[in-house]
Structure 1
Amino acid sequence: MRANTAAIGHTAGARGPRLINADAVAAYRRPGARGTAFALADGVGDDPRAARAAQLAAAAAVRADTDDPAEAVLAAQKAVLTDPDAADCVLVVALPDGNDYRIGWVGDARVYAAIGNELRQVTTDQTLANHFRARGVTPNPRMEHVVVVSVRTTTAPEIGVTRVPAPEFLVLASDGVHGRVGDDVILQALRYASDPARALVDAATVAGTTDNATALVVQCLPGRTGETTVAIAA
């Protein structure tokens, strides 16, 4: 079995101009698991049912008894579909595997990985805009915000999956953050901010985000074992 890896997680969020903060984050280390799983969900809509879906999905994804991120997303789907008070959401989940992470996603929440001065977006937005781009058609800007796959609607083949080898940092972000801050801002926050998650949310707010803005930053500690520290702030 590959060794457990320690990590430090920071998360921050802002409601922004919305009525409800329908973003949610979760972190959980299952007994015997090879580290802590992380998830971020973004509810579709601006009401309590959207928030409920995000909370259920994030919690179910990190607590799923699996090392397969697609199965973790399907566990989130089951939790949402069986709750009459839940609407829909998008989701990213990061499951540890030694020094690596396995990533699963549906919708347009994102995961970035950083090593040194290199930042890479490791997820692909499942939006109507990207659907048309893949077919050689220039999309309308409004299509950037229309998801074609969600927790409630996805099928197993539609779930995005990838593996990130030994990142120094992982950044999980809702579109209220990544829609307003660029790669340079993310790297500056990771390198210089004492609380990079809060720095990213504040930067998105200053840039005029019109959505909930949530970031979860995981600092990976290769070669070190132990419990993960996660600081969750509103």
Structure 2
Amino acid sequence: MTGYPRWHTASEQGPRERNADAVSAYAAAGAPGITFALADGVGSDPSAGRAARVAASAAARTPVSEGPAAAVRTAQQALRELGGTGDAVLVVAMPFPGGYRIAWVGDARAYSWNGSMVRKLTEDHTMAEYFRARRQPYPPRMEHVVTTSVRTTRPHEIGTTEVVGGGLLLTSDGVHKVLTPATIDEILADPARGASGLVATAIAVGGRDNATALFVEPPEVDVAAVVTEPFPTAA
């Protein structure tokens, strides 16, 4: 895997009964790099975990030529073929020379990393964000009510963006709704911490949800091997 960036992923169940987060990474022959996907199951029952795993895997294996929005639609088709009612939110980062094209539904996030600070690339698809954009008040629980998901989204509702250069961070809400941007910056600036540091800190400071992070280091620290930390997800 020479030439691919060094990346790390970590997840903790936290106080939930099971871990319903999932990550997937796939490098197709001839593609410009690795496609990354992070999914967070809606709810905490076994169907949520299965939905997250199926969505993340299907998205990551979508041909790069089709683009990240197509990866979300592929994940949707995979959930419909799975049957049941399990659902997930999802963020996909698909490589192109020099950067990543990103698509998402729900409140899974992508950030860029310039070596000292993160910059949020996605906007949460939540009721809270809907009301904020309209300068209207809302109760705190609206932060956790998503307006799009893998199973329910329509094509025009899929968020898209892209980023050139630097590192990349994907997170579930168990990380980014617990840690401040300044805390994320501090953790990523320490090479010994990375994704595992983000997740451990989110749980340690009182996070009540599954916490998952996937961190792709900036190109200037590329190494010849891809490194990952395996983690369990719901059965």
TM bin (shorter chain): over 0.9
Counterpart among 202, 223, 226 of residue 229 in structure 1: 226
Q: Which residue is equivalent to 2:73?
A: 74
Q: Which residue is equivalent to 1:177?
A: 175
Per-residue deviation, 1:227: 6.5
Counterpart among 16, 19, 26 of residue 17 in structure 2: 19
Further displaced range: 146-155 or 131-140 = 131-140
Distance in 1 of aligned mates of 2:140 and 2:155: 28
TM-score (norm 2): 0.92
Distance in 2 of aligned mates of 1:90 and 1:5: 30
Q: Which residue is equivalent to 2:110?
A: 111
Distance 1:141 1:55, change over 3 A: same
Is this contact kept in 2: 1:94–1:102, CA < 8 A? yes
Q: Which residue is equivalent to 1:219?
A: 217
The percentage of counterpart residues that share the same residue type is 47
> Can you give the 5+ residue segments of structure 1 that lack an aligned partner in the other structure?
none
Is this contact kept in 1: 2:4–2:33, CA < 8 A? yes
TM-score (norm 1): 0.93
One-letter code of the match for 1:216?
Answer: L
Per-residue deviation, 1:186: 1.2
The structure 1 segments of at least 4 consecutive aligned residues displaced by more than 3 Å after TM superposition are none
Distance in 2 of aligned mates of 1:180 and 1:156: 30
Q: 1:49-60 maps to which residues of 2 (within 5 A)?
A: 49-60=47-58
Is this contact kept in 2: 1:5–1:34, CA < 8 A? no
Q: Which residue is equivalent to 1:122?
A: 121
Q: 1:130-209 maps to which residues of 2 (within 5 A)?
A: 130-167=129-166, 169-209=167-207
CA deviations over 1:58-104 (Å, ceiling 9, x no partner): 00111012341100110111111110256000000101111111011
Is this contact kept in 1: 2:111–2:119, CA < 8 A? yes
Distance in 2 of aligned mates of 1:59 and 1:135: 35
Q: Which has the higher strand share?
A: 1
Is this contact kept in 2: 1:6–1:222, CA < 8 A? no
Q: Which residue is equivalent to 1:33?
A: 31
Is this contact kept in 1: 2:31–2:64, CA < 8 A? no
Is this contact kept in 2: 1:126–1:149, CA < 8 A? yes
Distance in 2 of aligned mates of 1:214 and 1:149: 20
Is this contact kept in 2: 1:193–1:199, CA < 8 A? no
Is this contact kept in 1: 2:172–2:211, CA < 8 A? yes
Q: Which residue is equivalent to 1:90?
A: 89
CA RMSD of aligned residues (A): 1.8
Is this contact kept in 1: 2:113–2:218, CA < 8 A? no
